[in-house]
Homo-oligomer: A and B are copies of this chain.
Amino acid sequence: MIRVLVAEDQSAVRAGLVLILRSAPDIEVVGEAGDGEQAVALARELRPDLVLMDVQMPRLDGVSATRQVVGEGLADVLVLTTFDLDEYVFGALRAGAAGFLLKNTDAKDLIASVRTVARGEGIVAPAVTRRLIAEFAAKPARRATADPAVLDSLTRREREVLSCVGEGLSNADIAARLDMAEATVKTHVSRLLGKLELRSRVQAAVLAQELGL
């Protein structure tokens, strides 16, 4: 039995969703929320397998609520919205949603999608999949030079310093943040440059960028 929490502010729409979900024998609607905060609270309390989350909601929007629910590991989230704005789609997916559907999805597909997400898989409405792919392809591929393995040769302190360098901080800035003498920062920079076979902090910064700091 898949335990679902429905979060949607418009009660009529919410009732429709619940009706659809109840028609599936293997799905149980364990709770309903009328805003984002309530959704997060109920997710904490009820521990559903999945939250069906609307994007536009009062008090706490669906994207933020998704971030919290997923961040706390409470449940998978399937986001639902009327408008397939890039802002919603990408925001929801970055927030950790396992799926993204439009409200014009028919009952059969909605139920199938809930089952898919409950299986630990993902589902994205075809209408937005193209844009997701395009957005994905637009991002530069992780280069061979950006192999996270090279970080293994660095010590904890060196990694911390590298991270700061990646933010564009000066040695003095780093010294202040990590509470050490500027001279010490220079030592670490010098060492990590050597280990990574780089010739300046600029290259280190670029590398840090590619590695996502």
Contact = CB atoms under 8 A, between A and B. Distances in A.
A168 B132 contact: no
* Copies of this chain: 2
A104 interface: no
Interface in A154-198: 165-170, 198
Given A168-B203, A202-B201, A212-B138, A121 B129 contact: yes
Interface string A106-134: 00000000001001111110111111110
Interface residues of A, number: 46
Contacts of A93: 133, 136-137
Given A165-B202, A168-B206, A206-B209, A126 B121 contact: yes
Contacts of A206: 166-168, 205-206, 209
A94 B169 CA distance: 34
A200 interface: yes
A21 to B, nearest CB: 18
A119 to B, nearest CB: 8
Contacts of A167: 206
A7 interface: no
Nearest to A121: B126
Contacts of A136: 90, 93-94, 132, 135-136, 139
Q: Give the top 7 A-B pairs by smallest Cβ distance, nearest first.
A: A122-B129, A168-B203, A121-B126, A122-B130, A139-B139, A168-B202, A116-B126
27 contacts: A90-B141, A94-B136, A94-B137, A94-B141, A98-B133, A116-B126, A119-B126, A121-B126, A121-B127, A122-B124, A122-B126, A122-B129, A122-B130, A122-B131, A123-B126, A124-B133, A132-B132, A136-B139, A138-B212, A167-B206, A168-B202, A168-B206, A205-B205, A206-B206, A206-B209, A209-B209, A209-B210
Interface of A: 90, 93-94, 96-99, 116, 119-124, 126-133, 135-141, 165-170, 198-203, 205-206, 209-210, 212
